[in-house]
Structure 1
Amino acid sequence: MSEPMALAFGERQYSLADLDALAEAMAATLRRRGVGPSSRVAVMSSNRPEFVIALQAIWRLGGAAVLLSPAWKQAEVGHALSLTRPMSAVGDHPALAEAMPMLHLDEPIAPGNCPAGPVDPAADAVLVFSSGTTGMPKAVRHTHASLAAAVRQWRGALGLTPADRLQVMTPPSHILGLLNIVTALDTGAWIRLHPRFDIDTMLRHIEADRITLDMAVAPIALALAAHPGLETHDLSSLRYLMWCATPVTASVADAVTARTGVPWVTAYGASELPVITCNDLSAARLDTVGRAVDGVDIRVVDTETGTPLGAGQDGEIQVRSAAAMAGYLPEDATAEAFSDGWYRTGDIGSCDADGYLRITDRAREMIKVRGFQVAPAEIEAVLHGHPAVEDCAVFGVPAPDGEAIIAAVRVSSPVEPDDLITVVADRLASYKRPRRVVIVDEIPRLPSGKVLRRVLRERAMSACAKSREIR
């Protein structure tokens, strides 16, 4: 009896034994390049089986994978490499190959012997990147123990079993894509990888592969709701759709359910702590992000005093879990992320008497774009480099796919807003490109110098209501 398949990509299918043999061969190649215990290896890859094989090869050697977004450009790659200092690289992206010697994932790998050794649970397994509001992205360190805890929690939250079938279209460098892949394979569920999101491909494979649960960030949900032929596809295999990364847009979720009969579930997590809450699978309350998953403690504290608050009171959401990150790089950013062992999410919300968590605001100033977190300061740093820009501030406003990036700019000489947008597009990933640049007379600030982004956001939304120019 042949071994069941575990992973599909196009017409290719792999069993767990296939993946293990290919990982052993790649590990032998990486070992010859000097990779060993505690080595960091940069991985910049599209969503493909070789990404999974590279991860398993690095872990087989006791190393840690540094996951770089395939959307990044040279400046972003250079920053990540200088922060993490990997000794080797694997991938399929020219930006990484230009920065350091890289084992290309299209290169044939000869079979090799490289038995898996014991894994130190406290050793780093993976470094992902999470933008802070004060500059370029920080590296988030997850150990084998914290990643394993996240996998256990995600499996339990999803009700995942070996009978489930998933597909992944989100980038593997993002914590959601990574967690879905690792959890599915660890559970024994079947998974199909796609190199990119395409709504027709998604619908076709739900039907053909009998997918049992699927993940949707806001753009995917919007594409489902807007698809003219949604009812022509047989989606009866789906147990539910999971809305991830941004708050649920009720009208969009309701429209999809009305047309397909498939319910939605929503969850809440972060790069630093991948699984925090999830809704009940059979009776999700989509106006909340659900309740704490097993093994996670949540408290809401006063933003000024840090005093724990009661049910229904708004404050900062803090979380304690075995899945919490080991820390940041740079290391000096770690201390302020925790309070007495509790991870400070920076999100504002409240828990009701039944433990359901509602998120009402952000204490931090991250902009959520199609499920990605964007730091205003990163875009501002690029704009400040333009000779015509005297001052600037970047903020987000609501948009159908999450938030739209707006840049308010004070200039010393005439410049076309589109030229400033192009400057950012040339330096940073496409999802960090401002939707609009507004030339202003002044940037409102507190006496301390802190930008009043709330004021700018209100002005932009007021202008939007009058002109309908921001879509």
Structure 2
Amino acid sequence: MSGRSTRGERTALAFEEREYSAARLDALAGGLALTLARRGVRPGDRVALMCSNRPEFVVAVRAIWRLGAAVVLFSPAWRRGEVEHALKITEPAHAVGDHPLLAELMPVLHLDEEPIEPSSATFPEPAPGADAVLVFSSGTTGLPKAVRHTHASFRAAVRDWRATLELTGRDRIQIATPPSHILGLLNIETALETGAWMRLHRRFDLDVLLRTIETDRITVEMAVAPIALAIASHPKLESFDLSSLRYIMWGATPVTPEVAETVTRRTGVGWVPAYGASELPVIACNPVRGARLDSVGRAAPGVTLRVVSLETGAVAGPGETGEIQARSASLMAGYLPADATAAAFDDGWYRTGDVGHIDAGGWVRLTDRAKEMIKVRGFQVAPAEVEAVLHGHPGVADCAVYGIPDAADGEAVVAAVAPAGSAEPVGPAELIALVGDRLASYKRPKEVVFVGEIPRLPSGKVLRRVLKERHGRAPGA
């Protein structure tokens, strides 16, 4: 796919040595839309997209939207079982991408095998209430769910994110996070809608990231905990000119103040912490001027927040702790499977599952999580999904998976395992490798703790709190 912008046109997207103007991206999306239409894609269809971080990803998303279809984002990090599960619950009629695993399971239009010819063809505007994108999240039990966003809700998220970041056409950003994650897609679309200059990276490389800030004069950097930690610990950080940055956004995981303060001390660049979820991409954010590290900020534009008591279900007052709940036009339409949707709402309010409080000034502080999800580098890991793999090993009699704070990843996955007495002894490395073979790499336990038994209630519910208290040290400590 040729990417050189027409002379005189402003570059909207840069990737390695290629450059694309907004007009060029639109023409390529129009051409791919015609190809997909010839292959039978129709309004309302779901189209699976499993693609690496590259311009063709952007073109494919926009081509699918041109046809009034919904794009289902598959992570290139997934293993076969995860892809099979995603296909089962979303039932896409078509597929596009560059990943061989998806091609083994259904016919795929491969983005490298058929050149995309630009086209100026026009298409009807999709209905605002039609599904636009499905991304994957997880509940506290079972396998990942698909989060459904309509064209209206995703446009609202882009609008809120643009306002929150105070992004303008003068800004320059770069994206090294996976586009199949809601934050990656949100950053891409917000940059394009705003007219900001954007560089995509094929993969994360810290030295390349820092060098690009210097050479491309990046103004807004997007970071998650592992990137922040890597920047803070870079031995030659001061050798890079980061003076073009207005700020660094910290999202997906809670801020580690020591890490953020180290970066600011070494570079002079401040942080803007933000808070969101796949179900509601922009929940709260700090102001660009006057950001603080002890809060995820105030409710984003277009978002209304409340706190509900975990004991009584009553709406809590300022400073009182409970579950954070939200309303917004950018809220998801629901889950697939559909029967999982009802539990995510409380009288129309989205239940974030996060515990915290909101003070009289509207500042949100998160203190815990009602859900038992483990958040690794911004990705949600369902303990039950990892436990199902471990239970399949003959050397495991019982197990429970939980998360503990981790400076690099936000949280680390720990597996408590009660070994089977009659089986051959099993070692931690073997169990970690087993999970790594079946699931995405970020779902692998960092540590396996062997225990006599897994503490449970009479109902069978695992007492993860007890395990954390007994074995909640940092991995390897």
Normalised by the shorter chain, which TM-score bucket?
Answer: over 0.9
Kindly report which structure 2 residues correspond to 1:282-297, keeping only aligned pairs within 5 A, or say none: 282-297=289-304
Aligned to 1:280, the other structure's residue is in SS state: coil
Kindly state the Cα deviation for residue 457 of structure 1 after the two structures are TM-superposed.
1.1
Query: In the alignment, which of 296, 301, 306 is matched to residue 308 of structure 2?
Result: 301
**Structure 2 partner of 1:406:** 414
Residues paired across the two proteins, number = 466
Q: Distance in 1 between matches of 2:225 and 2:233?
A: 12
Alpha-carbon displacement from aligned partner over 1:150-185 (angstroms, at most 9, x marks no partner): 001000000000100000000001010010000000
Matched position secondary structure for 2:32? helix
Compute the displacement of 1:112 (Å).
4.9
CA contact (8 A) 1:300 1:350 kept: yes
Residue among 19, 26, 37 paired with 1:31:
37
User: 2: CA distance between counterparts of 1:351 and 1:442?
Assistant: 39
- 1:316–1:345 Cα contact (<8 Å) kept: yes
Q: Could you tell me which residue of structure 2 aligns to residue 3 of structure 1?
A: 9
Contact 1:40 1:88 survives alignment (8 Å): yes
Tell me if structure 1 keeps the 8 A contact 2:27–2:120. Answer: no
1:94 equivalent among 95, 100, 108:
100
Summarize deviations over 1:292-332 as a string: whole Å, max 9, x none: 01111000011132210111110000000000000000000
Once the two structures are TM-superposed, the CA of residue 115 in structure 1 deviates from its matched residue by 1.7
Quote the residue 2:3 is aligned against: none
Match for 1:118 among 114, 121, 125? Answer: 125
* Partner residue, 1:344: 351
1:261 and 1:285 mapped to 2: Cα distance? 15
Match of 1:63 in 2: 69
Selected match of 2:57 from 41, 51, 73 = 51
Cα deviation, 1:406-448, whole Å, max 9, x if unaligned, reads 1011121222221111111110000101111122110011122
Instruction: Using the TM superposition, give the Cα deviation of residue 461 of structure 1 relative to its aligned residue in structure 2, in angstroms.
Output: 2.5
Shift of 1:388: 2.1
Q: Write out per-residue CA displacement over residues 192-246 of structure 1, whole angstroms, 9 at most, x where no aligned residue.
A: 0001111001011101111000011011001101111111111111000011111
> CA RMSD of the aligned region, Å?
1.1
Contact kept? 1:29, 1:112, Cα under 8 Å: no
The answer as to whether partners of 2:29 and 2:118 remain within 8 angstroms in 1 is no
Report 1:248-263 matches (<5 A).
248-263=255-270
Deviation at 1:2, TM superposition (A): 1.5
TM-score by length of 2: 0.96
Q: Give structure 1 regions of 4+ aligned residues with deviation exceeding 6 angstroms.
A: none
Among residues 329, 333, 338, which one is paired with 1:331 in the alignment? 338
Aligned residues of 1:315 and 1:349 also touching (Cα < 8 A): yes
- 5 Å-filtered alignment, 1:154-169, equals 154-169=161-176
Please name the residue that 1:424 is paired with. 435
Report if aligned partners of 1:162, 1:189 keep a CA contact under 8 Å in 2. Answer: yes
- Match in the other structure for 1:448: 459
The DSSP-based 3-state class of the residue aligned with 1:120 is coil
Pairing partner for 1:187 from 191, 194, 200? 194
Q: 1:111 to 1:192 in 2, by over 3 A?
A: closer
Secondary structure of residue in 2 paired with 1:141 = strand
CA contact (8 A) 1:129 1:139 kept: yes
Structure-2 separation of matches of 1:229 and 1:384: 45
Match for residue 14 of structure 1 among 8, 20, 29: 20
CA contact (8 A) 1:24 1:114 kept: yes
1:217-366 mapped onto 2 (5 Å cutoff): 217-366=224-373
Aligned residues of 2:279 and 2:332 also touching (Cα < 8 A) = yes
Task: Return the offset for 1:449.
Answer: 1.2
Paired letter, 2:259: V
Alpha-carbon offset, residue 3 of structure 1: 1.6
Hey, what's the Cα distance between the residues in 2 that align with 1:336 and 1:323?
19
State the alpha-carbon separation in 2 of the partners of residues 111 and 257 from structure 1: 45
Distance 2:287 2:432 in 1: 42
Question: In structure 2, the residue corresponding to 1:393 is in which secondary structure?
Answer: strand
CA deviation after TM superposition for structure 1 residue 389, in Å: 1.6
Q: Distance in 1 between matches of 2:472 and 2:144?
A: 28
Q: Does residue 433 of the first structure (1) align with residue 435 of the second (2)?
A: no
Residues 39-98 of structure 1, C-alpha deviation per residue, up to 9 Å, x if partnerless?
Answer: 100001111000000001000000000001110010000000011000111111111111
Amino acid at match of 2:445: P
**Helix, strand or coil for the counterpart of 2:472?**
helix
Partners of 1:298 and 1:275 lie apart in 2 by 12
The superposition leaves residues 339-373 of structure 1 with CA deviations (integer Å, 9 ceiling, x where unpaired) of: 11100001000001100000000000111111211
- For structure 1, the residue ranges without an aligned partner over 5 or more in a row are none
Which residue type is aligned with residue 243 of structure 1? W
Once structures 1 and 2 are overlaid, which stretch shifts more, 39-48 or 109-118?
109-118
Measure how far apart 1:286 and its partner are: 1.0
- Residues 28 and 113, structure 1, Cα contact 8 Å, conserved in 2: no
Q: Residue 147 in 1 paired to residue 154 in 2?
A: yes
User: Aligned partners of 2:119 and 2:162: how far apart in 1?
Assistant: 33
Q: 1:368 to 1:76 in 2, by over 3 A?
A: same
Is 1:77 the equivalent of 2:83? Answer: yes
Whole-angstrom distance in 1 between the partners of 2:306 and 2:398: 38
Structure-2 separation of matches of 1:435 and 1:325: 32
1:99 corresponds to which letter in structure 2? L
Task: State the secondary structure of the residue aligned to 1:275.
Answer: coil
What does the per-residue CA deviation read over 1:252-299, in whole Å, with 9 as the maximum and x for residues that have no partner? 100100010000010000000000100011111110000001111000
Q: Secondary structure at the match of 1:343?
A: strand
Q: Distance in 2 between matches of 1:312 and 1:31?
A: 54
Select 2:390's aligned residue among 383, 393, 408. Answer: 383
- Give the superposition deviation at 1:109: 2.4
